[in-house]
Each structure stands twice: as C-alpha cells, then as structure tokens.
Structure 1
Amino acid sequence: MAGHARTFMLGALIVAGLLVPFFVADTYIRHLFIVAFIYGIVAASWDLSLGYAGIFNFGHIAFFGIGVYVTGLAAKLIGIDPWLAMLIGGLAASAAAVLVALPVVRLQGVYVVLVTFAFSQLVLQLVISQSAVTGGTQGMVRVPTIELFGHNFLRDYKFGYYYVAFALLIASAACLRRLAHSDFGLSIQALRDNEDYGVSRGISVGLQRLKVLVASAFFAGLAGGFYVIYLRVASPEVFDFSVVSLVLSMVLIGGTASIYGPIFAALGLTFVSEGLANVEGLAEGRFILVAVAMVAVLLFLPKGLASLLPVLHRLYGRVASACRQQ
C-alpha cells in the first residue's frame, strides 16, 4: 500500500508540474519555478553526500559554481554547443570533487568542514583573480543559450526553459534516488551509521567517499550549467554564503537522507525567499526568517518535512480503504 501511495503521489505531482505553464502565464512566476528546480537539484545532490553518506561537505556550492563557470566558458569562449557545455560543466565538477576527496577521505568531523569550505573559497578567489577570462567581480555576460529543433528559448516567455529545468529535475531525482537505494547507497549509509562495522564487512571508506562526492558533484555541476545557460550570466555571487545557507536550509528543512524532501523544500523556500525580498523592510532579513524556520522545523521535526510522508501514506491508505468499502 505504501508503495502504491508513493507512486500515485509522485505521478500526480509530475502531472501537476507538466501542467503549470498552461495555468501560469506570468513569466516571473515561471522564473521562480525554474530557479526552484535548479536549487532542488543542488539540494538533493548535496543530500546524497551529507544525508546519506554523512560527509559534512561545505564545498558543495563550489561544485555548482564550477558548473556555472565551466559551462559559460565552454559555450562562450570555446564555442561548444550549450547542451554539451552543460554536460562538460557536470564532468568538471566531478573532476574537482576528486581533488577535494583526496584529503577528505582521511579526515573526520570538523576537519572535513574546514577543508571543503576552504576549497569553496579557493575556487572563488580563482574566479576573481582570472578576470581576463572569467570577468572577475563583474562576471561573465551574454553566455550563449540552448536551442532545440530551431526553437528560440528567449522568446517563448520561459515556456521552454521551464520544461528543460523540470526534465533535468525529474531525471536528476530519479538517478539520485536510484543511487541512494542501490548497494552503493546502502554501503555509504552503513559507513555513516557505523564506520567500524562497515569496514569490517569489507567496505572501503576512502573509495566510497570518493564515489559519493563525485556523483553528488556531477548533478550540482549540471544544475550550475543550466543556471548559466538560462540566465546567460556567470557571477561570483553563486559562491556567496547566502546561497550556501539557503540551499543548506533546503536540505535540512526538507529532511536529510531523503531525495524528495530537499526538492519540495527548494520549491517552498524559493518562493518564500523571493516573496519576502519584495516586501519592504524584509528584503535584508529574509534569510534570518528562513533560518528561524529551519530551527523550528528541526526542533519539532528533527528528520525534516520528509518525516511527514509516512503520515500522508497512512492517510491515503485509510481514504482508499474507506472508498473501497463504500
């Protein structure tokens, strides 16, 4: 019953997502959906390493930023097709994750936080220092955008961008969930819960940490690639602590070790954050309100909003059972 309820709910949500552009004509609302989908991919991929593997990787946004800049440079300076450039951005983020994993596999606790945070700052300084190529603090503008069968994505009121972002979200969520529930996913959870037991069963700590960082980085880099292709601007602001805190809030509020939880939280927090930004007097304090919401959720729902899903499954089962009896 639980599996049937989950399938029904996911199917209904996908259908609803496909119909949104037909009922929402406002381009700004469509823009918020697109941004939320991008953040959803980043948050869900971060949860693979943070929630499932238990790696306190605070450099995950750096992978997103690497995807932004590598895709932008590949499309604008080299002239690579933007579709292929997005894939290159994801692969570049995975390559960077290999470099991060070298010291991380040997560290524990706060040292992992320090190394990954330092890596994020290193990437930021590299972007700023190479201003002749990256645009420095001014950023990089007029990045080429995608085309599909001659369709102009710039003149359809974000209709095409919406569906590309939605498709990337669905594909990324499916891949991440499959990874999380595979033998590989079970192995990293075993190391997270009891490393000594996992090692005694023949699981390699270093190799599994390397794999999970590379996998999670790829999806963050892919999301960064679409981000720059969509906005056509690459800016150092993608490395800001405000972005880090916002995406981390999505992971924690949505629920760690849950691929779907951070995605739903990304949808909610993106709209709430943007809505508060347009309210006079709350623009600067909206991140404080998000932080308060995060503390409240963690206080009353330590496992995040994802912990409510079993309740919804049971409710659906009771309703379905009552309907059959009638």
Structure 2
Amino acid sequence: MNVLRNGKPWLIGVLFIAGLLAPMLIHDTHLRHIFIISCVYAIVAASWDLTLGFAGIFNFAQIAFFGIGIYSTGLIAKLFGVDPWIAIFIGGFAASAAAAIVAVPVVRLQGVYVVLVTLAFSQLVLQLVISQSQITGGTDGLVGVPTISLPGYNFLRDHKLGYCYVAFGLLVVTTICLDWLVRSNFGLSIKAARDSEDYGVSRGIPIARQRLKALIASAFFTGLAGGLFVVYLRVASPEVFDFSTSSLVLSMVLVGGTATIHGPIIAAFLLVFVSESLAGINLAEGRFMLIAVAMVVALVFFPRGLASVFSSSVLGTRK
C-alpha cells in the first residue's frame, strides 16, 4: 500500500488499533460523542488540506461543502425517505457538484481573489438555506433527520458505540484515499503547480483541470463527513456555516501542518477534545481564545505544524 510505502507500518498499526479499541474502553457517552465529532472534523480538515496544502488553492468554501453535505443528506433522507446510508453518499456527490460550480472561476484566479470568491459562495449557500425556510427550516434548522440502521442493530440504544465505529471507519477510508491521491501522479502534478505554476505549464500539466479535480475530491469527502454528521445528530443547523466553524477547522489544518494529511487529523482530535472539555466546565468562550493561542504558538514554534514533530517519513510532511 502506498500509505505505508515510505512510512513505519508499526506506528500506523498502533494508531489504527488505538482507534478501534478507544470506543470500547471509553464507556462515557459524552467522551464517545467527542470521539465521533473529532472523526468528522478530522475528515473535513484533512480534505481541506488537499486543496489548501497540496494544491495551493486558498479555498474558503470548505465549510460550505460541509454544510451542503449536511443539508443534502438531511433533506433527502427526511423528505424523500431515502435510506440514510445512501443519503450520506448523495451528500458527498452534492458537495462535489457544488465544488465543480465554484471551481469555474476559482481555477483561473489566484491569491485574494480565490478567497473572496469562495467566501462569497459560502455566504450564498448560507442565505439560500435561510431563505428557503419552508424546506430547510431556516434559522430554526432541520430537525428529525432519520438515522442510520443495520439489521438487528439499533444505533440509538448502544450509547453511541456504533456511531464511533462508523465515524472512525469513514476517517480511515478517507485517509487512505487522500494518501493515495497525494502520492499518485495527480498529487505530484498539483504540488508541482503549487510550487511553480510556470514550471507546471512547461511540463504539460493542465493546471485548471487538476485544480478542479482537487476541489471535487476534497468536497466529496467533506460532504460525506457532513452526511454522517447530520444523521448522527439528526439536526441540521445554519450555524454550521458560521465563521467560528471555519476558524476551528482552519486551525486544525494550520496547527497540524499543511500538506501532511495526517497532521490536521492529529490536530482535530487535540483541538476538539480540548474545546469540548472547556465547554463542559463553562469555559465555552475561552475555548476559542485557546484555539487562537494554539494557532499562533504552532505557527511561531512549529511553522510546519505538529506533523513536523514526528518523522516526515511517517506523516508525509511537505517536500
């Protein structure tokens, strides 16, 4: 497997086994909830790193893709009675379709113009959700979304154990797919274009097409995470589009280390656990200050993120 080719299989195996054992060893329902949310945000952060870190696209529509996955899955499952398992994948494809639309201007722009276009797209999606209140629930949100089920197994009566394994499984699959993408010829081409667009063009790399593919792939996994998020919580709220959500996920990418895939995943678990722990002791406002401080400290002392603390051969740091 490419994900293990240049790394240390034993360490990856230890982390995988730890993820499998954690839900069974943790019996507290709230801690299991934090584990699930960590997995979801880890997927979003790692997917964002594909465009921001590897492709060099200053894409700030990632949370919009997450929200599209949430609302697409919720609406399809609730209004049309589609099986939630299928609805999750439809949410992923809906997010990819949205990425293809926003990519039309983005792949030909650079710098601050990309930021402005993607931020405008995020606000457009938010206003669409709020304005169509008869369908989406508006500011009150979409409630009563059907949840996933398996024959003979009830996800609502196992104290979140089943959700833990579904979330962890999706994270593992996403990580393997993203690892494969960045190590493939496609990954090499987007990194070459990121480092020097003129060099990429001279080597015959179709810059616009490769950036389009990166956006679509990133949005697909983000949409899947959004679909799992809504069938787990059974509620879709426009608050997901808030700047605080974008800041939290962006901090995961920066603190973990851009162009690493694994770095944002590590940071996601650390920041979500710390954030939720502070919220549990009535320090909800202070947690955002702590995240901001963590981002500054990481950028000053670890410019390449937490991933730089570990071996580059294990975490695949930027080259």
Task: Quote the offset at 1:24 in angstroms.
Answer: 0.6
Task: Quote the offset at 1:311 in angstroms.
Answer: 7.5
**Residues 10-66 of structure 1: CA distance to partner in whole angstroms, max 9, x if unpaired?**
100111111112211000000000000000000000000000000000110000000
**Residues 209-258 of structure 1: CA distance to partner in whole angstroms, max 9, x if unpaired?**
11000000000000000000000000001111111000000000000001
**Residues 69-114 of structure 1: CA distance to partner in whole angstroms, max 9, x if unpaired?**
0000000001100000000000000000011000001111000000
The residue correspondences of 1:197-216 to structure 2 (distance < 5 A) are 197-216=199-218
The reply on whether 1:296 has 2:297 as its aligned counterpart is yes
Task: Quote the offset at 1:9 in angstroms.
Answer: 0.6
Q: 2:135, 2:312 → 1: CA distance?
A: 52
Out of 122, 138, 141, which is 1:139 matched to? Answer: 141
Which consecutive residues of structure 2, in runs of 5 or more, have no partner in the other structure?
315-319
Match of 1:317 in 2: none
| 8 Å Cα contact 2:6/2:313 also seen in 1 | no
Q: 1:273, 1:79 → 2: CA distance?
A: 35
Match of 1:171 in 2: 173
Match of 1:323 in 2: none
Match of 1:37 in 2: 39
> Equivalent pairs: percent with the same residue?
67
- Alignment: residue pair count: 311
Out of 180, 183, 204, which is 1:181 matched to? Answer: 183
Task: Quote the offset at 1:4 in angstroms.
Answer: 7.5
Task: Quote the offset at 1:310 in angstroms.
Answer: 1.4
Match of 1:60 in 2: 62
The reply on whether 1:283 has 2:319 as its aligned counterpart is no
The residue correspondences of 1:62-141 to structure 2 (distance < 5 A) are 62-141=64-143
Q: 1:66 to 1:311 in 2, by over 3 A?
A: closer
Which consecutive residues of structure 1, in runs of 5 or more, have no partner in the other structure?
314-326
Q: 1:283, 1:207 → 2: CA distance?
A: 43
73-82 or 16-25: bigger deviation? 16-25
| 8 Å Cα contact 2:8/2:313 also seen in 1 | no
Q: 1:155 to 1:294 in 2, by over 3 A?
A: same
286-295 or 188-197: bigger deviation? 286-295
State the secondary structure of the residue aligned to 1:217.
Answer: helix
RMSD between aligned residues = 1.3
Q: TM-score when scaled to structure 1?
A: 0.93
Q: 1:26, 1:266 → 2: CA distance?
A: 20
Code of the residue aligned with 1:288 in structure 2: it is: M
**Residues 176-216 of structure 1: CA distance to partner in whole angstroms, max 9, x if unpaired?**
11001100000000000000000010011110111000000
Task: Quote the offset at 1:285 in angstroms.
Answer: 2.4
Q: TM-score when scaled to structure 2?
A: 0.95
| 8 Å Cα contact 2:126/2:238 also seen in 1 | yes
Out of 6, 9, 34, which is 2:8 matched to? Answer: 6
Match of 1:324 in 2: none
Q: 2:7, 2:101 → 1: CA distance?
A: 42
Q: 1:219, 1:304 → 2: CA distance?
A: 23
